[in-house]
Each structure stands twice: as structure tokens, then as C-alpha cells.
Structure 1
């Protein structure tokens, strides 16, 4: 018997995963968002070191506009606003990402567990999510931070993370309920796999995009909530952040005095960080749903063999009818 050697090279198993990652990085929205986010992360690390002045230090340059000595101007006490924005970036980024990590871990533990398991345990976890879901976030945060003896940046991050996981848990529970009856999950259960292994290796990999999107949304919520608390005067005592800058600008009526430089830099920083996180979130959505990459349009093959580019929700029957009548398909 003559054995005919086979030609061709085997495709690595990891190649599809690598192509998916490259497709996400190549997304223009995700790329721009990651670049801006990386810039803020760099400023958060080196900001306190490169700040030209002590953010709390006073000087004789009272309420001066932007100049070579003070790039973003000064406050009514002569404090350098540029230094305050640089130093305050670390607090914003730490609170956002620590709260996002804590809330994401809790949402995975509660949401996936309650979605996969059945019985009283699942109902208890679902009821716990519902309780935290209906609690008003801002009043609850005001009460908690006001009653704590010492409120620091890490404390605020942990409190936000421990109280903002319910929405992500509900989403993950719904997704897990739709996945636990799939054939590959039933096959793993039939072979005697443990529930923990099925959750880790069969269900969680299919929830990666949902988890990432929920994490980004939680970071946006945490950053907004921390800045809101600082703006109303409830925040980490002694720690500068962008909300603290806006709080002092509002309390000293900077707008009425024409001191636009006091609140514009911090406001622009908040807007840029929110835009970056939103762009990353949009990139994740387009990565998960290919139909969103073409502006809500997708290629569909009609009954006569033609490929028609249609809007999402436009049926092939209508496309075939439009082509038969000589009209252009939307």
C-alpha cells in the first residue's frame, strides 16, 4: 500500500481568536477610544510627579487667566489649576477602574451562578439582584460616604463597586439562561463535567463581550458618580479630582466672575474621558454584532442568488420584490 502524503499546512487553532482581536483593535472607534484612554492612564500615573505646583499651594497670582507660568490659570487663592487637573486624574481613574473591577466580579458571580443553577439558590440570588437594582444609587452613596469616619479614594471606589453590580448581574443571568440549554453545555453535563468547570470553560467564554461591555459601562457610571459626589461637596477629603475643581469653581461663582479657565479644563477632561469610554463600548458592540459594522446594513443573499445590501430588519422577500420591479434595494 502506498501512502500518499498530504500537502498543505494546518491552520493554528489560535488564528481565529487572533483575527478577532485584530478586528477589534482595527475598529476606528475602539482605536480612538483606547488611545485617549491610554493617555489618561499615563497622566494618572505620572501626573503627580510632573505637576509644576502643589495643587493646594497658594500664591499671589489670584484668579489669573492662562499664562506661561500657569497654563490653565489660577484660582481665587492663587492655586494652579493645571496641577489640580493633573493630580486629580489619578483619583478619577482609580475610582473608575477599581469600582468597575469590583462590580464586574460581583456581577459575574451572582449573575452567571443564578442563571446556570436552578432552584432556591437561583431565586435567592435573583431576588438579591432585584433589591440592589431598585436602590437609588446617588442617595445611597451620599448616605454611605457621609456616615463613614474616613472617606478616601479607595473607599469611594469600593463603595461604588459594591453597590453598582446589580444591572450587570441581571444581564449576565439572562444571557446564561439562554446558554445553559445549548448542545455543547448539555454534552459537557452528560460527560460528567462539574458545574464550576462548565461555567468557566463553556459559558464564560461566550459571555466575554457582554462582560467587557458591562465593565466599560460601570467605569463610566463610577467616574460620573465620583465627580458628582465631589461636586456637591461629598468626596475623598484631601484628594483632588476633577469634581473637586468644579466644586470650588461653582462655590466661588467662577462663571459670574468670568473665570472660564477655572471650570473649562476639568469639564473638557470629563467629556474626553466619557467619549473615550463610550467609543470603546461602541467598538465592543460592533465587534459582537457584525451587522453594526456597516452602519446598520448587512449583505443578504436573495432567492434568485443575488447579494443585496439591506438595512437590519429589511426582509429578503421585500428585497426580491424590489429587484423584480426594477427598484433599488435600500
Structure 2
């Protein structure tokens, strides 16, 4: 595919984007295969608590003597699943509403945009916290819906603006004369033209959802079960990581994992920008 060949060409010339893409790929592989290759033990050994980094435990151990690195690897899957699912929901709803309202216009556009404006004015984080507290679930699909409850609104308005500018283009007028159905018009005529913006927003939506989901577990709002980065930070702080150096690696290791992933997404998105906007390409 031309897209993949262009992307690879840009990655070869932009080392930062290449490194970012490689890191994102490593995280994805850890999410898929990590729990099958790495096991977090259930045995507790107080003599092994809070050990510094070593060959056996590269990131040290926690209060139970279990390896921090293995917990980070296993915890990658739930965080990535929630982030990707939330981004998919956000993009699907935002793009569908934006394209339909922007192309159809009229009363439907006015009414739906008023609803969209309401979601734009709702403080997203407090609403997410309240919903997560009430529902009290660790189901990734449910958490993804909670995190995307208001995230779609901004994208919908941006896509609507692009759809309104596209509906007067010649290729759209030609499709109208051919009697193209609404679904065909939106899916084949309009959607490809907003694809670049959607792709970049998808990556941003993943990073935002990851931050929010980690925050829910960090605050103890979502039930603490299994392994994920937010729970690790929560437990480390509960064990006094802010006041002693014993659990420092247990606290800062998941924080570093989050920051590295976010930075990697930013650098990799630069490559996508260059693919979709040739004037940005590194010569």
C-alpha cells in the first residue's frame, strides 16, 4: 500500500518518529503477548520487599517482593485495551455525527449541534469520576464508554466544519447527480477526505484515555483488581512512597512507562502528519 510505503520512507528519515513508532509497537506487543510470557507471582516474601534494581528484578520489587517490571508488562494490556477502545468509540461517534450533520444540514444539524454544545460545556473529568464511582466496574468496554462520554463532542464539531466545506465540492455534486445514497456519500466521498485529521485525533484520543483511566485507578475510584499502572501508583502511594525512598522504583516505574508511551505517540504522530501533509515531510 502507498500509505505504508510513504510512512516507512518518512520513518527512515525522521529518527524521532521511528523511535516513537518502535516504542509504540513494543507496548502493543507487550499488551498482546506480555501476560502470556510474564507471570506476576502470588507468593509473598517480606525479605525481598523493596529491593533495588538487579539482574533478577531490573526495576526492583514491591512490598510483597514481586518484580515491578513484570507488573508493568502485565499491566500494559488493560491500559492499552481501555485506551484503544475509548479512542475507537470517540472517533466513531464523533466522525459519524460530524459527517452526517455537516452534509445533511437543516433542522437535524441544528438540534444535534445544540446537544453537542451541551456535551462540550460539561466538565469531562468530574463527570467521568462520578460515573466511574457509581458504576464501579473494571470491565474495559464499560470504562471505555465512560471515558468517551464527552470526548466525541469536540471531534464531531471539527468534522462537521470539514463536511460543510466538502459538500459544495464538485465531486460531491457529481455524486449527487448520480443518485448516490447517503451512506455511500458519507462513507466513500466524505470520509476519505477527513481521514488524515481522524487518524491524528485517534492517537490523541488513545493518550487522553490512558491518562484518564490511570487517574481513575490512582484515585481508587475504579475497583482495584488485577495489575495495571494506575493501581501500581495507588498502592505505592498508600505504602508511603512519597515519604520514603524504599518504594521509589515501585512508584516511578509505572509513571515512567506512561510518560514514555505518551511521548512515543507524539513523535509517531509526527510521521502521520508528514504522510498526510507532504509539505511537512523531512527532506
Shared fold per TM-score greater than 0.5: yes
Q: Contact 2:57 / 2:67 at 8 angstroms: preserved in 1?
A: yes
> What does 1:133-148 correspond to in 2, within 5 Å?
133-148=120-135
Is 1:58 paired with 2:41? Answer: no
Residues 102-123 of structure 1: per-residue CA shift (max 9 Å, x gap): 1111111111111111211111
Q: Are positions 1:27 and 2:10 aligned together?
A: yes
Residue 30 of structure 1 and its aligned partner are, at CA, apart by 4.2
Count of residues in Structure 1 that have an aligned counterpart in Structure 2: 277
Quick check: 196-205 or 20-29, which moved more? 20-29
Q: How far does residue 236 in structure 1 lie from its aligned partner after superposition?
A: 4.2
- Which deviations, in whole Å up to 9, do the C-alpha atoms of 1:78-109 show, x marking residues without a partner? 33312211111001110111111111111111
Q: What are structure 1's unaligned runs of at least 5 residues?
A: 1-17, 296-330
Structure 1 residue aligned with 2:86? 99
Q: Secondary structure at the match of 2:234?
A: helix
TM-score scaled by length of structure 1: 0.78
In the aligned structure 1, how far is the partner of 2:31 from the partner of 2:68? 16
Greater RCO between the two (CA within 8 Å, min separation 6)?
2
1:225 CA drift (Å): 0.5
Partner of 1:307: none
Match of 1:48 in 2: 35
* Deviation by residue 1:163-212 (Cα, 9 ceiling, x = unmatched): 32111111111111111110110111122222221111111111111111
Q: Provide the rounded CA distance (Å) in 2 between the counterparts of 1:81 and 1:21.
A: 36
Secondary structure of the corresponding residue to residue 131 of structure 1? helix
| Greater share of helix | 2
- The ranges of structure 1 where at least 4 consecutive aligned residues each deviate by more than 4 angstroms after the TM superposition are none
On the 8 A contact 2:102/2:163 being kept in 1, the answer is yes
Q: Please list every run of 5 or more consecutive structure 2 residues that lacks an aligned counterpart in the other structure.
A: none
Contact 1:152–1:235 under 8 Å retained in 2: no
Which range moved further: 195-204 or 98-107? 195-204
Cα contact 2:24–2:265 (8 A) shared by 1: yes
Bigger CA drift: 90-99 or 64-73?
64-73
- Whether the aligned pair in 1 keeps the contact of 2:91 and 2:202 (CA below 8 Å) is yes
Larger Rg: 1
| CA-CA distance at 1:235 after TM superposition | 2.3
- Correspondence for 2:256: 268
Cα shift readout 1:110-163 (whole Å, capped 9, x = no counterpart): 111111112111112212221111211211111001101533333212221333
